[in-house]
Amino acid sequence: MLSAFLIVALFAQIPAAPPAPSPVADPARPPQSQPDYVVGFQDVLSIGILGEPDLSRILTVDGDGTLDYPYVGRVKAAGLPLRAIKALIEKKLVDGGFFVSPQVSVEVSKYRSQNVYVLGEVRVPGQYALTGNMTVLQVLAAAGSPTPSAAGYVIITRPAGVEPSLPDGETGGGSSLRVSVRELQSGQLPEGFTLKDGDSINIPRAESVYVMGQVKAPGPYVIEGSLTVMQAIAMAGGPTDRGAMGRVKITRRIGDRVEEVKNVKLSDLIQPGDTITVPQRYF
């Protein structure tokens, strides 16, 4: 069981998201990038050759997925990892007789092609650029801290056709993964997991129970896992000296109806959305 305070405290430990890479002042020295990053349309690449400053370029991947580099002409880039683009340019330079053993560098100057979506109980939901191998925690940090009503877990959803698929199947062919905040903090994700273009990260609203009547702190309370009537009342500070613990009532929504639960015991498990009322003693 996690309180709203604990959930916010856990998320407060999320490391700050790194700033998006900016264009380099010296094109001969591009920023460091992940060699396995798959380039997409409109990404901006910094390409250079060791010892050849005149051949340093900052180039945008065009709508046809290619870019134009000196001596080699149009080069396919979209859909290829950085290391493959580097090898392709080196091969074309050698095959064309321009260099014997060129040392080409290919780095990302601006990430523009890949995005993930953050939904639900965060301060700034929306679309965020997927820069390199960003972690779930880094994306959540970019979206601000969670709201007080955030649940203690996130659901990552991946569109149909994007591989590798996540453990749980979704209607329409997509896949998903549910992971708790504690698991995110300790890195307990499937081996090799990385975010992909089009992934959605959703922080649901936490399930709540309402405790009313003769308790010291009536109101809604976030619940995680199983909770008894007595435990819910304890979360609300316990009964006042006028509370009738022997006549506790529970109202529960069932479909479109709100019904009163019969024969309530303090050891009974409650359900999300229940309203627990501690009535006043007769005498």
Query: Higher confidence at residue 106 or residue 224?
Result: 106
pLDDT of residue 42: 85
Phi and psi for 140 in degrees, rounded to 5?
-65, -35
Q: Is the pLDDT of residue 6 over 70?
A: no
pLDDT reported for residue 37: 82
Cα dihedral across residues 241, 244, 246, 251: positive or negative: negative
The answer, yes or no, to whether residue 224 has pLDDT greater than 80, is: no
How confident is the model over 132-171, as pLDDT tens digits?
Answer: 778 999 999 999 978 888 888 899 999 998 889 999 998 8
Would you state the pLDDT for residue 86?
A: 95
| Residue 222 banded pLDDT, cuts 50, 70, 90 | confident
Q: Output the pLDDT for position 279.
A: 95
Domains of the chain: 4-17+113-203 (3.10.560), 44-110 (3.30.1950.10), 208-278 (3.10.560.10)
Question: CB–CB of 142/128 below 8 Å?
Answer: yes
Cβ-Cβ contacts under 8 Å for 29 (sequence gap 6 or more): 48
* pLDDT value at residue 105: 95
Assess whether pLDDT exceeds 70 at residue 31. no
pLDDT at 29: 35
What is the Cβ-side half-sphere exposure of residue 13, based on CA atoms within 13 angstroms? 9
Cross-strand pairs, 257: 254
- Structure tokens, 178: 């549910």
pLDDT, residue 79, reads 87
What was the pLDDT predicted at 11? 52
Tens digit of pLDDT for each residue in 185-217? 888 888 888 898 899 999 998 888 999 999 999
H or E element at residue 7 = helix 4-11
Q: What is the pLDDT of residues 225-281, one digit of tens each?
A: 789 999 999 999 999 999 999 999 999 988 889 999 989 999 999 999 999 999 999
Instruction: Compute the average pLDDT of residues 57-76.
Output: 93
Q: Please report, as a single letter, which amino acid is at residue 98.
A: F
Backbone angles phi, psi at 240, to 5 degrees: -80, 175
Q: What's the average model confidence in pLDDT over 96-112?
A: 92
pLDDT of residue 75: 93
Element (H, E) at 275: strand 275-278
